[in-house]
């Protein structure tokens, strides 16, 4: 618990600091006086003054703010050039954009660092979505998808690769979606309803690519060794059921302690059936093998890392905007939205997995924070920009009363969103599940 809390404070603290630093630096550069630079919300725990600015750290690590002189219409206005509302709209626009832009740049920088370390990616990730296996009883089977079909579109999104397919289907849990297939040269459209997987409610329809795990090592004297299994063998099936991923193979072997199973292997390009009896260890079965999924390793240079980072962040930006659109059209379930509790849990999990996993998570959050702040919702940076744009079209500044109403509307939208994400966070906790079930 403390580990997750510490990771959460670190992750959110960095993202908020970078965001507010963008506003602060550009405001100062344009000659706007910054009254307060605060990390956190609520009572100030620590504060100090340097020049005209008070710097502070507040009790709740869930936000932050940069308070500029003359920032709000109800602030004392002298018309001095160091007041925010006295500056031209172009200057105010640059100050407002600086925070979200810094978050986007942080996402690019963190992803570049992660990619530069080298990564193992599934070999099928960039392949066309050719269905090799349809899981029994899955949404895909009920929808009429068959092995050999190629999925080319999910809803309005093209899916040229498995990576794009997983991103497209993952956001549509418990929502009917039209899937366009190619079957024997003909285009077909079917409707499926992806099932929600994991606590994050990720959509899945039960289609798998044509890949199989390999035997990396064999324990000398173990059941696999005695059965004649060798390192380098590829596992095609277990008891006649296709095996696609290493986790699937491990799970199936564990179900059969001291029970004979038949592994269908590929060795030197030819199939081979091997009968093996897993030894019992506690309640599970083991046969003494090391297994791995087929991966390719990428380790680009500095320029290649930056290029790949930009490509990924552009793709993820598109996914974020499509998710927002899906929420508005009800194609995407609101259950996928995360709040502070879920972010804290995930921060702890990623921190435990190492700094590369943590940086990857931070990059994703930073990109989300930057782009969502540009939404035209009053209170957010994008809301202020939207109001300025409306004033520009109207060629006049709105009255204080109009701006107050717009800000109130934005506040209510954010509060409604907060209720949804907090409910989602609680619903992911087993304690809340038991409470809502009446136990």
Could you state, in chain order, the average pLDDT of each consecutive group of 10 residues for the chain (439 residues)? 78 93 95 93 92 92 88 75 89 94 96 86 88 92 94 92 90 88 93 83 89 92 94 93 90 93 93 94 92 84 90 85 75 67 76 85 91 85 86 78 75 74 60 40
Phi–psi pair at 48, nearest 5 degrees: -155, 160
The catalytic site residues sit at 20
Residue 395: per-residue pLDDT: 80
Residue 167: per-residue pLDDT: 85
Residue 67: per-residue pLDDT: 93
Dig out the tokens for 227 from the structure.
């059965």
Residue 130: per-residue pLDDT: 95
Strand partners, 279: 286
Q: Which of 113, 6, 106 is nearest to 355 (CA)?
A: 113
Q: Which of 209, 167, 200 is nearest to 343 (CA)?
A: 200
Q: Which of 79, 93, 88 is nearest to 23 (CA)?
A: 93
Question: In angstroms, rounded to a whole number, what is the distance separating the alpha carbons of residues 289 and 205?
Answer: 30
Domain covering 120-208+294-298, topology: Pdz3 Domain (2.30.42)
Contacts of 414 (CB under 8 A, 6+ apart): 377, 379, 380
Residue 124: per-residue pLDDT: 87
Question: In angstroms, rounded to a whole number, what is the distance separating the alpha carbons of residues 280 and 28?
Answer: 68
120-208+294-298 and 214-284 share one CATH topology? Answer: yes
Residue 416: per-residue pLDDT: 77
Residue 435: per-residue pLDDT: 38
Dig out the tokens for 53 from the structure.
């600015």
Q: CB 131: neighbour CB atoms within 10 A?
A: 21
**Is there a contact between 58 and 40 (Cβ–Cβ < 8 Å)?**
yes
CA 286 to chain centre: 34
For the CA atoms of 200, 203, 205, 207, the dihedral, rounded to the nearest 10 degrees, stands at -70
Residue 434: per-residue pLDDT: 38
Q: CB 158: neighbour CB atoms within 10 A?
A: 12
Residue 1: per-residue pLDDT: 62
Residue 425: per-residue pLDDT: 57
Dig out the tokens for 255 from the structure.
């179900």
Convert 23-62 to b/e letters by CB count within 10 Å (16 or more is b).
bbebbbebebbbeebbbbeeebeeeeeeeebbbbebeebb
Residue 356: per-residue pLDDT: 86
Residue 193: per-residue pLDDT: 93
Dig out the tokens for 333 from the structure.
């379930």
Q: Strand 207-208 relative to strand 133-134: parallel, antiparallel, unpaired?
A: antiparallel
Any idea what DSSP says for residue 120?
A: E
Residue 125: per-residue pLDDT: 86
Any idea what DSSP says for residue 130?
A: B
Question: In angstroms, rounded to a whole number, what is the distance separating the alpha carbons of residues 236 and 214?
Answer: 9
Angle (CA) 224 229 234, round 5° = 120
Residue 171: per-residue pLDDT: 80
pTM (2 decimals)?
0.72
Convert 296-319 to b/e letters by CB count within 10 Å (16 or more is b).
eeeebeeeebbebbeebbeebbeb
Distances (CA, A) of 295 to 14, 131, 206, 246: 33, 19, 21, 12
- Domain boundaries, given as residue ranges, for the chain: 2-116+362-436, 120-208+294-298, 214-284
Q: CB 209: neighbour CB atoms within 10 A?
A: 20
For domain 214-284, say whether CATH 2.30.42.10 is its number: yes
Q: What is the mean pLDDT of the chain?
A: 86
CA atoms within 13 A on the CB side of 47: 16
**Is there a contact between 89 and 97 (Cβ–Cβ < 8 Å)?**
no
Question: In angstroms, rounded to a whole number, what is the distance separating the alpha carbons of residues 278 and 287?
Answer: 5
Residue 377: per-residue pLDDT: 82
């Amino acid at each position: 618990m403390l580990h997750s809390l510490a990771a959460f404070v670190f992750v959110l603290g960095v993202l908020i600091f970078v965001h507010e630093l963008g506003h602060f630096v550009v405001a100062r550069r344009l000659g706007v006086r910054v009254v307060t630079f605060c990390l956190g919300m609520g009572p100030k725990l620590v504060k100090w003054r340097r020049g005209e600015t008070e710097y502070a750290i507040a009790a709740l690590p869930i936000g932050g703010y940069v308070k500029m002189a003359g920032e709000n219409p109800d602030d004392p206005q002298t018309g001095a050039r160091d007041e925010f509302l006295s500056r031209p709209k172009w200057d105010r626009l640059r100050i407002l954009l600086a925070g979200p832009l810094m978050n986007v740049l942080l996402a690019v920088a963190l992803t570049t660092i992660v990619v530069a370390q080298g990564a193992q990616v599934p070999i099928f990730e960039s392949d066309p979505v050719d269905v090799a296996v349809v899981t029994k009883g899955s949404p895909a089977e009920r929808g009429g998808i068959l092995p050999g079909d190629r999925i080319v579109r999910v809803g309005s999104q093209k899916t040229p690769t498995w990576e794009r397919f997983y991103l497209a289907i993952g956001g549509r849990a418990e929502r009917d979606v039209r899937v366009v297939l190619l079957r024997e040269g003909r285009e077909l459209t079917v409707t499926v309803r992806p099932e929600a997987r994991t606590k994050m409610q990720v959509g899945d329809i039960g289609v798998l690519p044509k890949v199989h795990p390999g035997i990396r090592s064999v324990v000398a004297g173990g059941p696999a060794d005695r059965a004649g299994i060798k390192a380098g063998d590829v596992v095609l099936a277990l008891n006649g059921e296709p095996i696609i991923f290493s986790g699937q193979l491990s799970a199936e072997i564990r179900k059969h302690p001291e029970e004979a199973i038949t592994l269908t292997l590929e060795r030197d390009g030819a199939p081979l059936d091997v009968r093996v009896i897993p030894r019992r260890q506690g309640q599970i079965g083991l046969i003494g093998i090391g297994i791995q999924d087929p991966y390719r390793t990428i380790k680009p240079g500095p320029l290649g890392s930056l290029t790949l980072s930009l490509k990924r962040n552009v793709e993820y930006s598109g996914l974020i905007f499509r998710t927002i659109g899906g929420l508005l059209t009800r194609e995407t379930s609101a259950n996928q939205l995360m709040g502070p509790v879920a972010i804290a849990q995930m921060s702890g999990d990623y921190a435990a997995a190492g700094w590369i996993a943590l940086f990857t998570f931070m990059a994703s959050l930073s990109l989300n924070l930057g782009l969502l702040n540009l939404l035209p919702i009053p209170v957010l940076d994008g809301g202020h920009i939207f109001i300025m744009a409306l004033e520009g079209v109207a060629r006049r500044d709105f009255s204080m009363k109009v701006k107050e109403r717009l800000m109130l509307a934005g506040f209510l939208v954010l509060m409604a969103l907060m209720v949804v994400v907090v409910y989602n966070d609680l619903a992911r906790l087993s304690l809340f599940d038991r409470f809502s079930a009446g136990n």
